[in-house]
């Protein structure tokens, strides 16, 4: 049974458990990409660890409203880009935050490409990305009241 659980858990999740890094496996998406949940308070340190582990490319970051009146989610699609590898490893990270005070550490200092993407999530949903160098609206005028999404 344990072997089957590890297979369902995914290779990165097994590695994180081995190194005592707190997370929750959410299984795999329709393309077989492993999906993990990371707590907001653990996200920055785990992001640095993932970068050192080889996930050197942030393919995309987005956010969504999980349920009416419920949590907000910030989603990161990471890729290990290596010379000569045709099918690079990918992982999807989900960080959930309460709607009442949606605060998630910015990963700008890990992956610079998160700059405009985190700003869009901030602008559209109101997620505050702590330690982001230019966290301000990117689509809506500063005078806009509220969050469109």
Backbone angles phi, psi at 135, to 5 degrees: -75, 95
Query: In this predicted structure, what is the pLDDT of residue 7?
Result: 52
Contact 88, 95 (CB under 8 A): no
Residue 57 domain-assigned? yes
Q: Output the CA angle 41-135-50, nearest 5 degrees.
A: 40
Residues 6+ apart with CB under 8 A from 75: 61, 62, 63, 64, 92, 93, 94, 95
Query: In this predicted structure, what is the pLDDT of residue 8?
Result: 73
Residue 19 domain-assigned? yes
Tens of pLDDT, residue by residue over 17-38, are 999 999 999 999 999 999 999 9
Number of structural domains the chain divides into: 1
What is this structure's pTM? 0.91
**Cα 39 to Cα 24: distance, rounded to the nearest angstrom:** 9
Spell out, as residue ranges, where the chain has pLDDT lower than 50.
1-6
Residue 5 domain-assigned? no
Residue 68 domain-assigned? yes
CATH number of the domain to which 90 belongs:
3.30.460.80
> What residue numbers bound the domain in which 41 lies?
11-130
Residue 100 domain-assigned? yes
Residue 92 domain-assigned? yes
Residue 137 domain-assigned? no
């Amino acid at each position: 049974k344990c072997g089957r659980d590890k297979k369902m858990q995914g290779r990165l999740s097994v590695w994180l458990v081995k190194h005592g890094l707190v997370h929750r496996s959410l299984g795999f998406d329709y393309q077989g990409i492993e999906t993990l949940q990371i707590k907001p308070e653990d996200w920055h340190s785990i992001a640095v660890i993932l970068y050192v582990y080889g996930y050197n490319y942030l393919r995309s970051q987005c956010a969504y409203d999980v349920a009416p009146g419920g949590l907000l989610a910030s989603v990161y699609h990471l890729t290990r880009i290596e010379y000569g590898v045709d099918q690079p490893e990918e992982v999807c990270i989900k960080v959930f935050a309460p709607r009442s005070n949606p605060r998630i550490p910015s990963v700008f200092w890990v992956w610079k490409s998160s700059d405009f993407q985190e700003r869009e999530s901030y602008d559209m949903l109101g997620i505050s990305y702590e330690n982001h160098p230019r966290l301000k609206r990117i689509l809506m005028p500063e005078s806009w009241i509220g969050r469109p999404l």
